[in-house]
A and B are shown apart, each in its own frame.
Chain A
Amino acid sequence: MNSIVHRANKYDKYGWAFISLAMLAFALFTVYPIISSLGLSLKVLRQGDYVFGGLANIKRLIGDKIFHRTIGNTFIFLVIQGPIMLFLALVFASILNNKIKFRSFYRTAIFIPCVMSLVSYSVLFKMMFATNGIINNFLMWTHVLKEPIFFINDPFWARVVIMIAMTWRWTGYNMMFYLAAMQNIPLETYEAAHVDGAGPVTIFFRITLPQLKPIILLTTIMTTNGNLQLFDEPMNLTGGGPAELTTTMSQYIYNNAFVFSPAFGYSVMMSYVIVIMVALLAFIQFKVVKDD
């Protein structure tokens, strides 16, 4: 008994030694910036130095109508694009979980967008949706449109284009999670359902879906987190326009740090708003799933 404790302690020591480098890096690059940024979030720039500004940044946050608008914009992307994408991912996953022809080709094809560079795919979409781009040309050719649509400068279409781009890029990524989870569902449950005479729809809703619940929760939280930090697509596709209708929180934070008059303190304060939102939404999602 004694020797086991002794040995455990000894392993412990080695354990700590092995992870000490990683922990040091973690302390340096994660813990230290978090602590440091907390301080910075309360500072304001005066004569070239960041000095403690009390509640100045919080007051500014409350009065900043543009920041409020960007929260709204971000939530529009989250609430509309998120569910559509996850639903599509689920549909693709259940189709590709069956033994169909060219299954691995389809899987790869749907997954590949998410390894593409964010900037290059945004540029690609910008070209496709240009006034003389492939989408407009096709719609004119099929006589759906008489005049080309200036997609990225239209209050409605600009958002749609961003959502289409995001969906194209991230559906395959989420589909992979669902596929992996589906392969872990025991075949016996399906067989039993077949024996009981259940159709494919019933099987999907009664067998597949309930067993995917933890993975659906995971993808929902990841999507929420990702969409709340949405930056690349609006930045590269629309530049936040037209008239700040597609400016997201992250983009506004970026603007306040690097484009507008320097306000690092205020930018950090706004980042904490995102942190709190992500934490709150994740908490709510956990609760909802548990209560079911």
Chain B
Amino acid sequence: MVKKEKWFIGLVMILALAFAANPLRVDAGGQAQPAGKNTITVWAWDDNFNIAIMKTAVARYKELRPDVDFNVEIISSSKEDVYKKLQTGLASGGRNLPDIVLIEDYSFYQYVSAYSKYFYPLNDVLDYSQFSPYKVQVMTLNGKRYGVPFDTGVCANFFRHDILEKAGFTDADITDITWDRFLEIGKVVEQKTGVKMTIANGTNWSSFFRMMIQSGGAWYFDANNNMTITNNAVLRETFETIKKLRDAGVILECADDSQLAGALNNGTTASVINAAWRVSTVKAEPSQSGQWRVTTMPRLNNAKGVNASNTGGSSWYVIENNQPKDLVNDFLKTIFAGDQSFYNKILVDQGAVCAWLPSQSGPAYSVGDPFFGGQKVNLFFAEQLPKIPPVNYGQYVPEANTAVNSALFNYLQGNITIDEALKRAEDQLKNQIQ
């Protein structure tokens, strides 16, 4: 019996070693082989936005090229799951990956800088001069350009016209102003109407301060990928501004996005400063139709500060996967870099403000939106796009967000000074970047 046990353990170990030595064996056959040769796979999230848009794109391509054998399998999962599967696939040697994947601009560098060989550059396929420069900037690495610039996170101040009017302010009064002026207006608004001026996620300020620092043409890293935290005047002013706004009580702090949406819809806040896709959140409350407007976001006092910025936004990337490249290239080029009516359709249906500049002369841009009192909202966003300062997001956005957000939390609590806060953020970020 003892002998047999030994023999068996030996067998187990041999098996284990065989697998350890050749990890390829384990998931042979597990690879998501496309059903037909001309079927490509797409990974994305958000059924109502990205998935719906990709479906529109495929339908449109079939319309334009009826004789081409082309099928797309769109796999919808949560954003976290897309990233998890992507990360795992890249780490295991580029297996089980889709042909096209949606990645946020903030996250793309962390994938491409580690796994550039699995991303297929589109330099020769697309004319990048037709896209918003700041979107092209975030997909450029070592002279190669990856991906199709897609939706933008162009920012605006969404505000309640009626509430501001009650407090005695016109739309022009809060257009192209500084944050200091915004704060003064905010105090008056709360005093006269009892409504908080604006809202932000108090547990995670990162989308708020990222938007602010980019409006000042700054980032956590400069153009040469050097860290700029303690020597970053824009970041410093951003910290101070958030503290001022918060101490003056003009910001309603919420815990997550659903609470934020709830506060907008039940009228406990007079404005929200966020990206274009907030239109859909705002419109979720039909009773407020006609009361909302959009205008430029406030700017920093810094000389480089402008009244425009970006937060979020994503793009489509092609994974090196032995797929029929001509077909994929033609699909992306024909639709995403050449089809006006596709862009017009997704602007009307999904409210997608995209980075392909020629699309912005489409008819949907000149239509007034009754929800916003007849304001040409889409045209407004299109006009903002060229003003957004391009910055280099770099490889470590999530790390930097975490470090800066922690430091900001302690600064807002009043535990540490601004210098200590910036120092702490820089130390933490340095500690994490290996």
Q: Chain A: residues with CB nearer than 8 A to chain B?
A: 8-9, 12, 16, 23-24, 27-28, 31-32, 35-36, 39, 45, 47-50, 56, 60, 63-66, 126, 130-131, 150, 152-153, 155, 238-239, 241-244, 255, 257-264, 266
Q: Whose C-beta in chain A lies nearest to the C-beta of B84?
A: A258
Beta-carbon contacts of B1-15 to A below 8 Å, as 1s and 0s? 100100010001101
Q: Across the interface, which residues of B come within 8 angstroms of A9, CB to CB? A: 1
* Inter-subunit contact A262/B91 (CB<8 Å): yes
* Inter-subunit contact A126/B255 (CB<8 Å): yes
Given contacts A12-B1, A241-B409, A243-B410, contact A262 B15 (CB under 8 A): no
Q: Across the interface, which residues of B come within 8 angstroms of A65, CB to CB? A: 428, 431
Bound-state CA distance A126–B15 (Å) is 47
B128 contacts the other chain (CB 8 A): no
Q: Chain B: residues with CB nearer than 8 A to chain A?
A: 1, 4, 8, 12-13, 15-17, 19-20, 23, 26, 80, 83-84, 87, 90-91, 93, 110-111, 113-118, 202-204, 253-256, 259, 395-396, 398-399, 402, 405-407, 409-410, 413, 428, 431-434
Bound-state CA distance A126–B4 (Å) is 55
28 contacts between A and B (CB under 8 A): A16-B4, A28-B19, A32-B19, A32-B20, A32-B26, A47-B117, A48-B117, A65-B431, A66-B431, A66-B432, A130-B259, A131-B253, A131-B254, A153-B253, A155-B413, A238-B203, A239-B204, A241-B405, A242-B203, A242-B406, A243-B407, A255-B402, A257-B87, A260-B399, A260-B432, A261-B110, A261-B399, A262-B115
Q: Across the interface, which residues of A come within 8 angstroms of B409, CB to CB? A: 241-243
Given contacts A239-B203, A242-B203, contact A39 B20 (CB under 8 A): yes
Q: Across the interface, which residues of A come within 8 angstroms of B432, CB to CB? A: 64, 66, 260
Bound-state CA distance A126–B255 (Å) is 9
Q: Whose C-beta in chain A lies nearest to the C-beta of B91?
A: A264
17 extra interface residue pairs, beta carbon distance < 8 Å, beyond A130-B259, A131-B254, A261-B433:
A12-B1, A23-B12, A35-B17, A45-B91, A48-B116, A48-B117, A126-B256, A130-B255, A239-B204, A241-B409, A242-B203, A243-B409, A258-B83, A259-B83, A261-B114, A261-B398, A262-B90
Q: Across the interface, which residues of A come within 8 angstroms of B433, CB to CB? A: 261
Q: Across the interface, which residues of B come within 8 angstroms of A258, CB to CB? A: 80, 83-84, 87
CB distance from A61 to the nearest CB of B (A): 11
Q: Across the interface, which residues of A come within 8 angstroms of B259, CB to CB? A: 130
Bound-state CA distance A241–B15 (Å) is 44
Bound-state CA distance A259–B118 (Å) is 19
Q: Whose C-beta in chain B lies nearest to the C-beta of A26?
A: B12
Bound-state CA distance A24–B255 (Å) is 47
Bound-state CA distance A16–B4 (Å) is 9
| Other-chain residue from B20, B80, B398, B413 in contact with A260 (beta carbon distance below 8 A) | B398
Given contacts A126-B255, A238-B203, A241-B409, contact A63 B118 (CB under 8 A): no
Across the A-B interface, how many residue pairs have beta carbons closer than 8 Å?
118
Q: Whose C-beta in chain A lies nearest to the C-beta of B19?
A: A32
| Other-chain residue from A23, A262, A266 in contact with B8 (beta carbon distance below 8 A) | A23
Q: Across the interface, which residues of A come within 8 angstroms of B19, CB to CB? A: 28, 32, 36
Bound-state CA distance A39–B20 (Å) is 9
Q: Across the interface, which residues of A come within 8 angstroms of B23, CB to CB? A: 36
* Inter-subunit contact A243/B115 (CB<8 Å): no
CB distance from A27 to the nearest CB of B (A): 5
Q: Across the interface, which residues of B come within 8 angstroms of A45, CB to CB? A: 91, 114
Q: Whose C-beta in chain B lies nearest to the C-beta of A266?
A: B434
* Inter-subunit contact B118/A12 (CB<8 Å): no
- Rank and list the top 9 A-B pairs by shortest CB-CB distance, nearest first: A243-B406, A243-B409, A48-B115, A261-B110, A32-B19, A27-B12, A31-B16, A153-B203, A32-B16
Q: Whose C-beta in chain B lies nearest to the C-beta of A64?
A: B431
CB distance from B120 to the nearest CB of A (A): 14
Q: Which residue, B12, B203, B255, B432, has most C-beta atoms of chain A within 10 A?
A: B255
* Inter-subunit contact A244/B434 (CB<8 Å): no
Bound-state CA distance A108–B432 (Å) is 46
CB distance from B145 to the nearest CB of A (A): 18
| Other-chain residue from A243, A259, A264 in contact with B398 (beta carbon distance below 8 A) | A259
Q: Across the interface, which residues of A come within 8 angstroms of B8, CB to CB? A: 16, 23
CB distance from A236 to the nearest CB of B (A): 10
Bound-state CA distance A246–B189 (Å) is 36
Q: Across the interface, which residues of B come within 8 angstroms of A64, CB to CB? A: 431-432
* Inter-subunit contact B16/A27 (CB<8 Å): yes
Q: Whose C-beta in chain B lies nearest to the C-beta of A237?
A: B255
| Other-chain residue from A36, A50, A243, A261 in contact with B395 (beta carbon distance below 8 A) | A261
Q: Whose C-beta in chain A lies nearest to the C-beta of B263?
A: A132
* Inter-subunit contact B431/A50 (CB<8 Å): no
Q: Whose C-beta in chain A lies nearest to the C-beta of B107?
A: A259
Q: Across the interface, which residues of B come within 8 angstroms of A244, CB to CB? A: 402, 406
CB distance from B363 to the nearest CB of A (A): 41
Q: Across the interface, which residues of B come within 8 angstroms of A23, CB to CB? A: 8, 12
* Inter-subunit contact B428/A66 (CB<8 Å): yes
Q: Whose C-beta in chain A lies nearest to the C-beta of B111?
A: A262
Q: Across the interface, which residues of B come within 8 angstroms of A16, CB to CB? A: 4, 8
* Inter-subunit contact A48/B90 (CB<8 Å): yes
Q: Across the interface, which residues of B come within 8 angstroms of A261, CB to CB? A: 110, 113-114, 395-396, 398-399, 433
Q: Across the interface, which residues of B come within 8 angstroms of A131, CB to CB? A: 253-255
Q: Across the interface, which residues of B come within 8 angstroms of A264, CB to CB? A: 91
Given contacts A31-B16, A64-B431, contact A262 B114 (CB under 8 A): yes
Bound-state CA distance A27–B395 (Å) is 38
Q: Which residue, A9, A48, A239, A262, has most C-beta atoms of chain B within 10 A?
A: A48
Bound-state CA distance A92–B247 (Å) is 46
Q: Across the interface, which residues of A come within 8 angstroms of B428, CB to CB? A: 65-66
Given contacts A23-B12, A64-B431, A65-B431, contact A243 B405 (CB under 8 A): yes
Bound-state CA distance A263–B111 (Å) is 11
* Inter-subunit contact A153/B114 (CB<8 Å): no
Q: Across the interface, which residues of B come within 8 angstroms of A257, CB to CB? A: 87
Q: Across the interface, which residues of A come within 8 angstroms of B399, CB to CB? A: 260-261
Q: Whose C-beta in chain B lies nearest to the C-beta of A12?
A: B1
CB distance from B118 to the nearest CB of A (A): 7
Bound-state CA distance A12–B118 (Å) is 51
Bound-state CA distance A45–B87 (Å) is 12
* Inter-subunit contact B15/A27 (CB<8 Å): yes
* Inter-subunit contact A150/B110 (CB<8 Å): no
Bound-state CA distance A257–B17 (Å) is 25
Q: Across the interface, which residues of B come within 8 angstroms of A152, CB to CB? A: 203, 255
Q: Across the interface, which residues of B come within 8 angstroms of A49, CB to CB? A: 93
Q: Across the interface, which residues of B come within 8 angstroms of A60, CB to CB? A: 434
